[in-house]
Amino acid sequence: MPNDLVLIVDFGSQFAQLIARRVRELNVFCQIVRHDLPAARIRELNPKGIILSGGPASVYEPGAPHCDPAVFDLGIPVLGICYGMQLACHFMGGKVGGAHSREYGRASLRVTDANSLFRGYPAESTVWMSHGDQVQAAGGFVPLAATDTCPLAAVKHTSKPVFGLQFHPEVSHTPHGGIVLANFLRDVCGCTGDWKMSNFIDQTVAAVRERVGDKRVICGLSGGVDSSVCAALLVKAIGKQVACIYVDNGLMRTGETEVVRHTFRDWFQADLHVVDAGERFLSALKGVTDPQEKRKAIGKTFIDVFKHEAKSIPDAHFLAQGTLYPDVIESGGSPDGPAATIKLHHNVGGLPKELGFELVEPLRDLFKDEVRRLGKELGLPDEVVWRHPFPGPGLAVRVLGEVTEAKLNVLRQCDTIFLDELHRSGWYRQTSQAFAVLLPVQSVGVMGDGRTYENTVALRCVQTDDFMTADWSHLPHDLLARVSTAIINKVKGVNRVVYDVSSKPPATIEWE
């Protein structure tokens, strides 16, 4: 673990992970922890600073989430944001109540004390507010900044290193928020900013070598960013001790198996096992139309194929997964992390338990953008590092209805045309996920002088930061026209192309 550690205490904020990402961008390592973590445990973790997140509750309501009040007596610098500021003031002599005028959205902030947090900050600027309560009496705090309706928009304690911000410095709508966070981390907490990918690689390589010893590690490769970066990092750490298993389920996009072969067998000289299991998966999917049943059939077949191949690798004691930090948080996988489990997370379908392996997760402290930076540092090609997410069941959940080889071939051609055009036009890197969907819908068309009754293809393209919410990408009309024309002209059996303009929620990104 890096020398500098900052803890982000989560009170149910929708921005907790965003705060963490902003801290990481300032080259300071941080972890999100639950709000009721005892002060004694925080002292053990020995952080350089503590950030209290926002949250939807009111500090004076019964049952509102509170931190251990002893946190403010540890001598560790504390920065409270929104609810976090109100809680700090509530515990330290201030008064919190409903605001006379609630603030949601942009507000104009005037700095009244340009020292400490606001060193180098504009005297007046735009900030993002989202609160119905506010601090009404400062107690032991003095004001640092104000808005028209919030005289205590930023405060600091007169004798303890405790600060509060009523606005959100972590969101892009507060354009100078990074200055405040940097001042807190570096000037107040004394962080050196040594959280860098080169250091992470050195530390992780040493940790993997120490844990694994001379035993072998199996890494499940899907061809996606996370598993590819995980595999590349393990190859750097232990070379031929890692065996990469790539199951070609016949549900991949055009050329993906070849990219995996070239990257890991030819470029990294890895021990790569490619299992051609397309016929087994298609057989398991025969007659299956329900999306959940598809996933179950694919998951069971994957486990059977993977287990069989794993038995061919002698002296394998570990199984590696490309688990990321959001996965750890959302699955309750960290003992100090937020207590509420949002989802269960198993990258490779519970295989560690089934095979009796110990689990290795070298990326479990990283966010997605950090994984991409790590991939570049390790020398992975751009086509792998910047690849859009791809569902575990592959194209099976993009062929609506029963999956057949003929339908897969049609979908692959359409998907390739769409992605190629996005690459050529420069839009691929401007979007988060893009794909084609083959619908179980046929419609009448006219080609030449003849009537057709053929398939419909939907194009889906979204933009998102966290994939929990997403908006449809406003692609140029001429780009969509080129894609539609190319698909209808080149892909036999398709006579209609539609574009999905649904956001998430209420829709999901994938159709199944």
Annotated catalytic residues are 82, 168, 170
Crossing angle of the two packed helices 225-238 and 197-212, in degrees rounded to 10: 60
Burial 460-491 (b: 16+ CB within 10 A, else e): bbbebeeeeebebbebeeebbeebbebbbeeb
The encoded tokens of residue 337 equal 């992390």
Distance, CA of 34 to CA of 36 (rounded, Å)? 6
The CA-atom distances, in angstroms, between 273 and each of 73, 306, 309, 312, 407 are: 56, 10, 8, 10, 28
Distance, CA of 298 to CA of 382 (rounded, Å)? 29
Q: Residue 424 burial by CB count (10 A; 0-12/13-18/19+): exposed, middle or buried?
A: exposed
Residues near 317 by Cβ (< 8 Å), separated by ≥ 6? Answer: 212, 215, 216, 217, 357, 358
Burial 219-253 (b: 16+ CB within 10 A, else e): bbbbbbbbbbbbbbbbbbbbeebbbbbbbbbbbbb
- Backbone dihedral region for residue 250 (phi beyond 0: left; psi -120 to 50: alpha; all else: beta): left
Alpha helices in 331-404 (DSSP H): 351-355, 368-378, 382-385
The encoded tokens of residue 262 equal 């070239």
- Backbone dihedral region for residue 261 (phi beyond 0: left; psi -120 to 50: alpha; all else: beta): alpha
Provide φ and ψ at 37, rounded to 5°.
-65, 125
Provide φ and ψ at 463, rounded to 5°.
-125, 135
Whether residue 419 contacts residue 413, with contact meaning beta carbons closer than 8 Å, is answered with: no
